[in-house]
A and B are shown apart, each in its own frame.
Chain A
Amino acid sequence: MTTLDISTSGATETSGDAVLSFEGLSVTFKTQFGEVDAVKGIDLDVRPGEVVALVGESGSGKSVTSTTALGLLPGNARISGTVRVGGKVVGSLDKAGLRKLRGNDVAMVFQEPMTALNPVLTIGDQLTEGLQLHGIAYGKEAEARAAELLRMVGIPEPERRLKQYPHELSGGQRQRVVIAMAISCDPTVIIADEPTTALDVTVQAEILDLLRSLTEKLDTAILLITHNMGVVADMADRVAVMLKGDLVETGTVDQVLNHPRHEYTKRLLAAVPHLGEGPGQFGDVARPAEPVAGEVSALDLRNLVIEYHRIGRPAFRAVDDVTFHVDPGEIVGLVGESGSGKSTIAKCALGLIPAKSGSVSILGQDFRTTRGKRLKELRKRIGVVFQDPAASLNPRFPIGDVISEPLVVHQVGDARSRREKVMELLDAVELPPAVYNRYPHELSGGQRQRVSIARALTLEPELLVADEPTSALDVSVQASVLKMFTSLQERYRFACLFVSHDLAVIDLLAHRVVVMQNGEIVEQGPREDVLRDPREDYTKRLLAAAPVPEPGEQRRRREARHALLTSLGEESAELHL
């Protein structure tokens, strides 16, 4: 079952016309703990005008593979096998040859647009640099060409942008600049390493549209590295799946996504939550308990306003006049893009930041007027899970202490009963008792997030605030955590404010959905209403932009989205030649 399909699809087309090819590529890193095999002998071709998606979870070696094409791996890497770009063998080039290759033949689009641009140089400087270096244009001519490139990737007022610095641009615009830089020397192949992972879903859709039109209009080949199956379905012609340095399956997007053959691919696909399929995607267990129509709301926010103070400038209003509530036993999904104020609301509901006006009432008590002992009692009834499993556990506490800390703070029980409670919780979150004495850094991301959830449940809270609890996890881990989460909710029947940017996850879990934009509520209501039949344009746009992991369906969704944009009087992103 391993390394499928290379013979079938590789035989039909010779590797001669490939613009980028890896033959028997292996990469080994020398580290202080011995040698690590990051890539274990893979073969892969990318042909002109083709998008090949390299898929895998973190640590699968997909980024390492792509980096070899530019010869940019650090000094402790040992590379064997052949990497060809155009007709050139990367390994045989000297330094000058390698520099000529970079940018000219193969260009790169990185994941993090916020850090990929030099903060102290203007956009113009950074764009013209490559043009002059590779002898494409000089001086005024280069500037004109740079402006042209910015216009091509859909940045308005390109002449003005050239004089600006990266921090003056939004994340999506920066990624457009990075793409403009990548296409500036007309490379035959572009390597896009998670190009949309750091972006909001609507921006992601635009960037993907832009990349797609590159292949159509310039015949540029793209090696797309991603972990997002929706992006794969949206973009790829062919797909290669990596697992721990091995290529386990290759084929057309239809073959791999709709008829996976390798066990791992199947498991990976099964773990992707599918927008539009609602609860119960991960077996019967994964169906949240129905809310009890309670007399007092677990969380009740009325006309909430939150402002951040800034020195020397007017205060920033992060949340403006927000009203919604969470009933006992109910899961409310709070959805929005970055900067929508959703995390701010979560922190306010936990009493971590003060409200400027409006009321926050938890289980019938007002947070703003409760003080001292009663406040502490109230806090006992709220649990919290944060996004980043690496940051949410105190690195100096062993897991046992992490989970029992709330018991200690509230002086519940003695040492023995606390230990028993921790063991019970470890069992509930499907972790072995042995982790009791381990430290957070010894656990994987998914395991840490389980610990986080266990800690949140220690005091058996009536309200759980979960701020993007699965966003930092690999998709298969996310599925298992979500599954466990729903079963726990069924068992403990807590009310939950579930903050997420991922509509598919919300679709899977929530009873009701609140959609936010720029600090204000756009739309709220039962899940079926909001996600199936949205009333507001913003919600429609959000839903339309979320990709699903099935190529045919995704194509229809994409066309529907373009139609929606046209009906709203906007044009979809593409390369303007």
Chain B
Amino acid sequence: MFTFILRRTLASVVVLLLSSVLMFWLTVHSGDPLADLRGSNADNVQQLMDARSATMNLDLEWYERYWIWLDGVAGCFTGSCDFGVNRSGQDVLFMTGLAAQSTLRLVTAATLIAIVVGVALGILTAIRQYSGFDYGVTFAAFLFFSLPVFWAAVLLKEFGAIRFNDWIAGGQLGPLMIILVAAVAAVALSAILGGSTRRKLVTGGATFAFVVGVLVLFNLLNWYRDPISGPFMALLAACGAAVLVTAIVAGIRNRKALYAALTTAVVGIVAYVVLAYTPLLADPSWPGLFGLFVVAIAVSLLIGRLWGGYNKKQVMLVTGVTGVLTSLVVVADILVGYWASFLGLKSRPISTIGSQTPNFTGDFWERLIDYGTQLILPTALLALVSIATHSRFTRSSMLEVLNQDYVRTARAKGLSEREVVVKHAFRNSLIPITTIVAFDFAALIGGAVITETVFGWQGMGQLFITGLRQVDPAPVMAFFLVTGTAVVVMNLLADLAYASLDPRIRR
């Protein structure tokens, strides 16, 4: 296994090296780096041209310049990184550091969302093959495949940001909107749950009534501007999550798993109430939050182990997932609590430019909301295509697996359809998806170039495009280096995921 990973990594490094030569050569030969000066009629043109030639080493052959670049990059291994300078003499390494941060934040968020949503949709459509839900998701997937990204971005900016900001000033849903939202929820839920026509009608009707009720209540409470938060809401949400996780993983009849999950949820919320007044949550830091998260998972697993009995593994899985969800619920609850004060600081919450609001003054949680609101639209846009890819791929992989002999064996044992899907089919259907996720990551980075440009982020895309326009290899190569390395790392992770899912290739 280790040698396998090592060999793959070495091969990737060689490929990366060759690609860098190709990229460098192409960039250097893509135009004339002095074009803008040649057309200029300033007095000191010659002087400017000489200066730029000197910074960019234009008197050297391209391979000599490549060698200088490579030598600088190789310095990273000895602790003295040098990505070169751009044509104005600025240090590219410094620029890259800032740019990579925001780009990777965007791409990672999009990848995570795409995997979770895409895989979930894929499995649901496979189980409900040929249903209205299946057809709906299929059509939506094709639609997202076919969207020109920046065209959709313009629409998203208009409806997701500008009109939302207008609306949040009042913060009341109109009756038409309420009915529309409720109808969509009703149709979707009844299609997912399936069953006979009668059952679908009942599900749909109940959902419709419930959603309308909730939305009207929200209007009355002015919930969109000043949402109610606090331990009670969090407890409700966490227990809901616990029941849902149990129902999916272990079945609601499995009392041990259910009680274990509920215990986890309650313990989590109690901890939240206690910690809310300590600096750990009131004035947190990233490492502190991460530490809390780790503790939360550990406690959850412990609860699972104590409750688990003969079926420890499964119950620990239930409590572990519940623990993660409860942690998210707590964070969400805190953020919801800060929403009103955030609106006070920034009355138009979602801006269409930049990865964070300049000169924003707020505490940790308010800044987090600011990051979040700025991240939502580009991430959603970027994730859409990947969600479409993953859902289609998962669907076909799941259908393939459901036709396998061992699934028939599992059914012949008397397992329920939920157990067959969760225990036998799910893991097998994930195996081919790991490869696709790695592939898709490269495409996502490409898409990020456009998304960043549309939303005015100062990211890697900006670095790349400016560099290319100016025939300036250093920033272009920095872009390549970051994205290429990210792809290689992603492939490595995919290999590891593959190996952990499939015992056949572990050695």
B199 at the interface (CB under 8 A from A): no
**Residue numbers in B under 8 Å from A178 (CB-CB):** 409
Most buried by A among B4, B412, B504: B412
Query: Which residues of chain B from 390 to 440 have any CB-CB distance to chain A below 8 Å in the complex?
Result: 404-406, 408-416, 419, 423-424, 427-428, 431
A133 adjacent to B428 (CB under 8 Å): no
B503 at the interface (CB under 8 A from A): yes
Please give the distance in Å from B2's CB to the nearest CB on chain A.
12
A181 adjacent to B413 (CB under 8 Å): yes
A70 at the interface (CB under 8 A from B): yes
B50 at the interface (CB under 8 A from A): no
**Bound form: Cα–Cα A142–B410 in Å:** 17
The one of A100, A120, A142 that contacts B427, using a Cβ cutoff of 8 Å: A120
**Residue numbers in A under 8 Å from B3 (CB-CB):** 312
Please give the distance in Å from A224's CB to the nearest CB on chain B.
16
B151 at the interface (CB under 8 A from A): no
Please give the distance in Å from B385's CB to the nearest CB on chain A.
29
A44 at the interface (CB under 8 A from B): no
A117 at the interface (CB under 8 A from B): yes
Query: Which residues of chain A from 88 to 127 have any CB-CB distance to chain B below 8 Å in the complex?
Result: 95, 99-104, 107-108, 110, 112, 115-121
B302 at the interface (CB under 8 A from A): no
Most buried by A among B311, B414, B431: B414
The one of A119, A133, A134 that contacts B502, using a Cβ cutoff of 8 Å: A119
Please give the distance in Å from A32's CB to the nearest CB on chain B.
14
A412 at the interface (CB under 8 A from B): no
A133 adjacent to B503 (CB under 8 Å): no
A167 at the interface (CB under 8 A from B): yes
Interface size on A, residues (CB 8 A): 35
Given A115-B405, A142-B310, do A102 and B502 touch, yes or no (CB 8 Å)?
A: no
B442 at the interface (CB under 8 A from A): no
A139 at the interface (CB under 8 A from B): yes
A138 at the interface (CB under 8 A from B): yes
B310 adjacent to A133 (CB under 8 Å): no
**Residue numbers in A under 8 Å from B412 (CB-CB):** 70, 72, 102-103, 107-108
**Bound form: Cα–Cα A355–B268 in Å:** 67
B405 adjacent to A110 (CB under 8 Å): yes
**Residue numbers in A under 8 Å from B419 (CB-CB):** 133
**Bound form: Cα–Cα A120–B401 in Å:** 12
Please give the distance in Å from B9's CB to the nearest CB on chain A.
15
Type the 1/0 row for B490-502, where 1 means its CB is closer than 8 Å to any CB of A. 0000000000011
Given A119-B503, A120-B503, do A132 and B310 touch, yes or no (CB 8 Å)?
A: yes
A416 at the interface (CB under 8 A from B): no
B7 at the interface (CB under 8 A from A): yes
Please give the distance in Å from A143's CB to the nearest CB on chain B.
9
B411 adjacent to A120 (CB under 8 Å): no
**Residue numbers in A under 8 Å from B416 (CB-CB):** 95, 99
Interface of B is mostly: helix
Type the 1/0 row for A308-327, where 1 means its CB is closer than 8 Å to any CB of B. 00001000000000000000
Please give the distance in Å from B433's CB to the nearest CB on chain A.
14
A110 adjacent to B414 (CB under 8 Å): no
**Bound form: Cα–Cα A118–B310 in Å:** 22
The one of A110, A120, A130, A181 that contacts B428, using a Cβ cutoff of 8 Å: A120
A165 at the interface (CB under 8 A from B): yes
**Bound form: Cα–Cα A99–B411 in Å:** 8
A101 closest partner in B (C-beta): B414
**Residue numbers in B under 8 Å from A118 (CB-CB):** 406, 409-410, 424, 428
Type the 1/0 row for A503-539, where 1 means its CB is closer than 8 Å to any CB of B. 0000000000000000000000000000000000000
B309 at the interface (CB under 8 A from A): yes
Type the 1/0 row for B212-253, where 1 means its CB is closer than 8 Å to any CB of A. 000000000000000000000000000000000000000000
A132 adjacent to B311 (CB under 8 Å): yes
Query: Which residues of chain B from 275 to 316 have any CB-CB distance to chain A below 8 Å in the complex?
Result: 309-311
Query: Which residues of chain B from 110 to 141 have any CB-CB distance to chain A below 8 Å in the complex?
Result: none
B409 closest partner in A (C-beta): A116
A104 adjacent to B424 (CB under 8 Å): no
**Bound form: Cα–Cα A165–B427 in Å:** 14
B409 adjacent to A104 (CB under 8 Å): no
Query: Which residues of chain B from 53 to 81 have any CB-CB distance to chain A below 8 Å in the complex?
Result: none
B504 adjacent to A119 (CB under 8 Å): yes
Please give the distance in Å from A542's CB to the nearest CB on chain B.
28
Please give the distance in Å from A291's CB to the nearest CB on chain B.
45
The interface of chain A, by Cβ under 8 A from chain B, is 70, 72, 95, 99-104, 107-108, 110, 112, 115-121, 129-130, 132-134, 138-142, 165, 167, 178, 181, 312
Q: Which 4 A-B pairs have the closest CB atoms?
A: A139-B310, A102-B414, A115-B405, A103-B414
19 A-B contacts (beta carbon < 8 Å)? A99-B414, A102-B411, A108-B409, A108-B412, A110-B405, A110-B408, A110-B409, A115-B406, A118-B409, A118-B424, A119-B504, A120-B502, A121-B423, A121-B424, A129-B415, A129-B423, A138-B309, A138-B310, A178-B409
